[in-house]
């Protein structure tokens, strides 16, 4: 048994800490720590005698300790190798508890027999792969009498060492005489595996180049564990436990900054520390560099660091200190890409959203979709791109900046601008086509549609619009910035009816803010009134900017009245009423809704007319006039039957009428009728799939069932409300609070 291992076991058996043993023996705790970890040369006889006396060991144990020392002096097989010593691990290691536990479990499995456990830690540059394995190796080395061997495989070098060269180095570290080392690469690797089979040794292979470099070095059964790090996934290696490493959590990032820089530990700096962590993308390398720069600049505050990192064009330059830098680390991976992959990678910087699918990449490359999939997998393999789901990819924030740098350095400005605007136009073409599934008078794409994504059904269109919202919104910004006002207005118009199915998304405020300005720039007063109305809706219903919403609606009304545009006049009055209603000015709101009925009827705006009646009933319900509200909802249902309302809007209107009527019936204490009406509501697709309506249905059912004395069923319905309310940001406080209050009353 190694001296360090035996000494540790004796100390623990005696129930002593290192500090207590140091006090009892007169040997420093640092010297004891070095001996236990195998970091020191053989101890002097007087040191060993002092430790043995303090530990009160038996004569037999004292002889064993002396034999361990003699074995070390002889340079026997248990001696710690002088070569391949692991580098110093960081003292301020933060987080990674789950990953360290996974490595410990793998090592423990190896002690039970079978093949040597191999753990591959992989991830993007700067994520802390080497730091993690060195920490794990330090914790495990005491369990491996033959020591810990470390080799940097230089996987990102232009010419990494071969497996045979690495094997020769490891054999020398294991004290195999040079004349005994085999001649060929294959034989040296086999010799290494044979030696490792007999030695319980922890092997760390850092920064691997690929499978061909690692595979021949892996020992077989009976050997100690192997820890491998690589930017690649090394999918060709079999029997390997892969441990993907992600950036730190926000809490871990802040903790790391506090350990590196004293300024970051000040309570007053907490907000700025969180912002630095975000700007560093929670990447350990970036955080350490930022913290080091902060700690070495006595005049800097964390706020000063935030300001320096906030400039996207300079952020990567700021994340460089001494001989290390985030951009340089990325460049090593980038250098290994094929020419096609480099072009695709840099053009990913054009995509505006935080994540994307392969069809969107085609919009900036014009490559074959099948080829793009292969290239994206190449980027994933090298850690330059992350997968979020089966079909979605994501660039780390700092990698996006790096891709932007490559784009500016390798493509002329005119070409960049043309590709960016072309991408925006094509992306908005898809957006318009998807949005028109919900617009009266349109529906399915024309037979000639051959876009990059399937939009064969309304469900496919809705899924695409929701999942790619940040991308098409970014494309809308690009189009607006380029003066493509007609395209901006057309896109916003196509999304108008779809927006009613996604009211909780706050992005509508920006969408209709852009289209309002574009409509005004086009000089078309009817368009201006229309998009002022859309903006008013978004400002009130989505962003709760009620003063802005009311002002926009009144401006739209003035334009519409002056131009004799009855339809936009009616909608302007309706949106003004919405703002007043949200401010609690219910009587004023109800009066504007009554005024809006006449211009809506004159304009033959049948969809809008029914919608007005539903709003009137809702306003009456909010005033506590439940019978009046029911009468208005019945009138809306009659008008829905009488008027040629579009199919999609008819379904949505019918659902709202049933849901609101059920709630009014319940508020009148008509529990059975309320339950019957909720059943009618749930027979509509809109009520089942619109979160706000679904919450109201289950709240109504909970109230009705409680009123009928069925408390068990009522609890189930109210619990469902609380579960669903998280998906309805605008209304969740009312639904959740009301359901929670009722649940408490039932339990009481």
Helical H runs in 482-565? 485-494, 496-499, 508-522, 525-537, 546-563
DSSP3 helix / strand / coil % (the chain, rounded to 5)? 65, 5, 30
Considering the domain boundaries, does residue 612 fall inside one? no
Same domain for 387 and 338, yes or no, is yes
Backbone angles phi, psi at 329, to 5 degrees: -65, -40
Considering the domain boundaries, does residue 342 fall inside one? yes
Given the DSSP bridges, would you call strands 241-244 and 148-152 parallel, antiparallel or unpaired?
A: unpaired
Same domain for 263 and 347, yes or no, is no
With a pLDDT cut of 70, the percent of the chain lying above it is: 95
Burial 711-730 (b: 16+ CB within 10 A, else e): eeebbebbebbbebbeebeb
Tell how many helices (H) and how many strands (E) occur in the chain.
38, 10
Q: What is the pLDDT of residues 134-168, one digit of tens each?
A: 999 988 887 877 788 999 999 988 899 999 999 99
Same domain for 162 and 236, yes or no, is yes
| Residue 687 vs residue 679, higher pLDDT | 679
- What gap in Å lies between CA 506 and CA 279, rounded to an integer? 23
Do residues 315 and 398 make contact, with C-beta atoms less than 8 angstroms apart? Answer: yes
- What gap in Å lies between CA 305 and CA 291, rounded to an integer? 9
| Residue 145 vs residue 387, higher pLDDT | 387
CATH of the domain at 153: 3.40.50.300
Q: How long a stretch of residues is the chain?
A: 748
Q: Is residue 296 helix, strand or coil?
A: coil
pLDDT at residue 71 is higher than 80: no
What's residue 237's pLDDT? 92
Q: What is the pLDDT of residues 265-292, one digit of tens each?
A: 999 999 999 999 999 999 999 999 999 9
Given the DSSP bridges, would you call strands 226-230 and 324-325 parallel, antiparallel or unpaired?
A: unpaired
pLDDT at residue 446 is higher than 70: yes
Mean pLDDT along residues 508-519: 97
Mean pLDDT along residues 455-479: 95
Given the DSSP bridges, would you call strands 202-206 and 148-152 parallel, antiparallel or unpaired?
A: parallel
Q: Is residue 121 helix, strand or coil?
A: strand
Same domain for 257 and 296, yes or no, is yes
Same domain for 272 and 139, yes or no, is no
What's residue 732's pLDDT? 55
pLDDT at residue 497 is higher than 60: yes
Same domain for 105 and 207, yes or no, is yes
Same domain for 167 and 66, yes or no, is no
DSSP tag of 727: T
Q: What is the pLDDT of residues 95-104, one digit of tens each?
A: 999 999 999 9
Same domain for 299 and 263, yes or no, is yes
Beta bridge partners of 206: 152
Q: Is 205 exposed, middle or buried (0-12, 13-18, 19+ CB in 10 A)?
A: buried
Q: How confident is the model at residue 4 (pLDDT cuts 50, 70, 90)?
A: confident
| Residue 48 vs residue 343, higher pLDDT | 343
Q: Is residue 456 helix, strand or coil?
A: coil
What's residue 51's pLDDT? 86
Q: What is the pLDDT of residues 214-251, one digit of tens each?
A: 999 998 876 689 999 999 999 899 989 999 999 999 99
- What gap in Å lies between CA 566 and CA 180, rounded to an integer? 98
Considering the domain boundaries, does residue 479 fall inside one? no
What distance, in Å, lies between the first and last C-alpha atoms of the chain? 66
pLDDT at residue 78 is higher than 80: no
Q: What is the pLDDT of residues 523-578, one digit of tens each?
A: 999 999 999 999 999 999 889 999 999 999 999 999 999 999 999 999 999 999 99
CATH of the domain at 362: 1.10.10.10
pLDDT at residue 75 is higher than 70: no
Helix (H) or strand (E) holding 203: strand 202-206
Same domain for 336 and 315, yes or no, is no
Same domain for 110 and 174, yes or no, is yes
Angle subtended by helix axes 413-435 and 485-494, to nearest 10:
30
Q: How confident is the model at residue 723 (pLDDT cuts 50, 70, 90)?
A: confident
> Residue 652: which of 447, 440, 444 has the closest Cα?
440
- What gap in Å lies between CA 553 and CA 664, rounded to an integer? 29
- What gap in Å lies between CA 587 and CA 606, rounded to an integer? 25
What's residue 81's pLDDT? 44
Considering the domain boundaries, does residue 640 fall inside one? no
Considering the domain boundaries, does residue 633 fall inside one? no
Q: What is the 3-state secondary structure (H, E, C) of 340-357?
A: HHHHHHHHHHHCCCCEEC
- What gap in Å lies between CA 49 and CA 44, rounded to an integer? 9
DSSP tag of 538: I
pLDDT at residue 34 is higher than 80: no
Q: Which domain holds residue 600?
A: 524-604
For residue 318, the Cα-to-chain-centroid distance in whole angstroms is 24
| Residue 14 vs residue 121, higher pLDDT | 121
Indicate the range of 63-67, 541-545, 665-669 predicted with least confidence. Answer: 63-67
Considering the domain boundaries, does residue 153 fall inside one? yes
What's residue 244's pLDDT? 94
Q: What is the pLDDT of residues 390-433, one digit of tens each?
A: 789 999 999 999 999 999 999 999 999 999 999 999 999 999 99
Same domain for 120 and 51, yes or no, is no
Q: Is 536 exposed, middle or buried (0-12, 13-18, 19+ CB in 10 A)?
A: buried
Mean pLDDT along residues 631-647: 93
Q: How confident is the model at residue 60 (pLDDT cuts 50, 70, 90)?
A: confident
CB within 8 Å of 394: residues ≥ 6 apart: 354, 355, 356, 385, 386, 387, 388
Same domain for 163 and 275, yes or no, is no
What's residue 82's pLDDT? 58
Mean pLDDT along residues 365-389: 91
Q: Which of 224, 244, 264 is the last residue of a domain?
A: 244
- Full-model pTM: 0.77
Q: Which of 360, 376, 411 is the last residue of a domain?
A: 411
Considering the domain boundaries, does residue 541 fall inside one? yes
pLDDT at residue 80 is higher than 50: no
Considering the domain boundaries, does residue 518 fall inside one? no
User: How many domains is the chain built from?
Assistant: 6
**Geometric angle at alpha carbon 519, from 514 and 522, rounded to 5°:** 125
Q: Is residue 221 helix, strand or coil?
A: strand
Indicate the range of 195-199, 208-212, 230-234, 512-516 predicted with least confidence. Answer: 195-199
Mean pLDDT along residues 619-632: 94
> Residue 570: which of 538, 546, 594 has the closest Cα?
594
Average pLDDT over the chain, rounded to an integer? 90
Mean pLDDT along residues 740-745: 88
């Amino acid at each position: 048994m190694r001296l360090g291992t035996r000494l540790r076991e004796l100390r623990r058996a005696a129930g002593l800490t290192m500090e207590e043993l140091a006090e009892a023996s007169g040997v420093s705790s640092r010297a004891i720590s070095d001996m236990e970890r195998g970091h020191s040369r053989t101890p002097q006889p007087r040191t060993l005698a002092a430790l043995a006396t303090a530990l009160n060991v038996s004569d037999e144990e004292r002889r064993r300790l002396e034999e361990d020392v003699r074995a070390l002096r002889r340079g026997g097989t248990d001696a710690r190798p002088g070569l391949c010593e692991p580098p110093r691990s960081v003292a301020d290691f933060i987080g990674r508890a789950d990953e360290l536990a996974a490595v410990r479990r793998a090592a423990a499995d190896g002690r039970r027999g079978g093949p040597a456990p191999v753990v591959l830690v992989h991830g993007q540059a700067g994520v802390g792969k080497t730091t993690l394995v060195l920490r794990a190796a330090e914790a495990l080395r005491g369990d491996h009498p033959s020591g810990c061997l470390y080799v940097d495989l230089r996987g990102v070098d232009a010419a990494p060492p071969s497996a045979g060269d690495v094997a020769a180095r490891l054999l020398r570290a294991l004290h195999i005489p040079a004349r005994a080392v085999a001649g060929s690469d294959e034989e040296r690797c086999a010799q290494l595996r044979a030696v490792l089979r007999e030695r319980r040794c922890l092997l760390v292979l850092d920064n691997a180049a690929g499978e061909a470099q690692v595979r021949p070095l892996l020992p077989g059964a009976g050997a100690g564990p192997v820890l491998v790090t690589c930017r690649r996934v090394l999918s060709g290696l079999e029997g390997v436990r892969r441990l993907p490493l992600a950036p730190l959590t926000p809490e871990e990032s802040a903790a790391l900054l506090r350990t590196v820089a004293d300024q970051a530990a000040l309570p007053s700096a907490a907000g700025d520390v969180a912002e630095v962590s975000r700007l560093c993308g929670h990447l350990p390398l970036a955080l350490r560099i930022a913290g080091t720069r902060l700690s070495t600049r006595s005049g800097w505050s964390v706020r000063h660091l935030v300001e320096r990192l906030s400039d996207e064009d300079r952020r990567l330059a700021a994340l460089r200190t001494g001989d290390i830098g985030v951009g340089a680390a990325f460049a090593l991976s980038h250098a290994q890409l094929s020419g096609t992959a480099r072009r695709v990678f840099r053009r990913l910087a054009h995509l505006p959203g935080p994540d994307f699918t392969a069809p969107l990449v085609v919009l900036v490359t014009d490559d074959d979709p099948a080829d793009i999939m292969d290239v994206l997998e190449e980027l994933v393999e090298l850690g330059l791109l992350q997968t979020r789901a089966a079909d979605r990819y994501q660039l780390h924030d700092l990698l996006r900046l790096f891709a932007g740098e490559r784009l500016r350095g390798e493509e002329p400005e005119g070409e960049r601008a043309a590709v960016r605007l072309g991408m925006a136009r094509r992306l908005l073409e898809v957006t318009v086509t998807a949005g028109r599934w919900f617009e009266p008078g349109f529906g399915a794409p024309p037979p000639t549609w051959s876009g990059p994504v399937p939009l064969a059904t309304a469900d496919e269109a809705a899924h695409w619009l929701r999942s790619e919202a940040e991308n098409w919104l970014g494309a809308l910004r690009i189009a607006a910035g380029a003066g493509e006002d007609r395209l901006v207005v057309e896109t916003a118009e196509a999304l108008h009816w779809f927006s009613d199915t996604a009211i909780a998304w706050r992005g509508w405020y920006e969408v209709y803010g852009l289209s309002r300005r574009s409509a005004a720039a086009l000089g078309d007063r009817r368009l201006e009134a229309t998009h002022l109305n859309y903006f008013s809706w978004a400002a009130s219903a989505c962003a709760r900017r009620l003063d802005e919403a009311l002002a926009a609606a009144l401006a739209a009304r003035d334009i519409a009245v002056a131009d004799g545009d009855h339809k936009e006049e009616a909608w302007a009055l309706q949106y003004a009423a919405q703002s007043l209603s949200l401010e609690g000015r219910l009587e004023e709101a109800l009066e504007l809704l009554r005024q809006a009925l006449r211009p809506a009827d004159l304009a033959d705006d049948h969809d809008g007319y029914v919608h007005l009646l539903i709003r009137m009933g809702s306003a009456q319900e909010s005033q506590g006039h439940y019978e009046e509200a029911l009468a208005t909802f019945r009138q809306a249902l009659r008008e829905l039957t009488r008027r040629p309302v579009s199919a999609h809007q008819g379904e949505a209107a019918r659902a709202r009428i049933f849901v609101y009527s059920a709630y009014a019936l319940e508020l009148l204490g008509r529990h059975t009728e309320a339950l019957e009406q909720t059943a009618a509501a749930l027979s509509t697709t809109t009520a089942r799939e619109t979160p706000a309506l679904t919450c109201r249905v289950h709240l109504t059912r909970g109230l009705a069932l409680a009123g009928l004395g069925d408390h068990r069923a009522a609890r189930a319905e109210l619990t469902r409300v609380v579960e669903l309310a998280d998906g309805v940001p605008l209304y969740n406080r009312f639904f959740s609070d009301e359901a929670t209050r009722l649940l408490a009353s039932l339990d009481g």
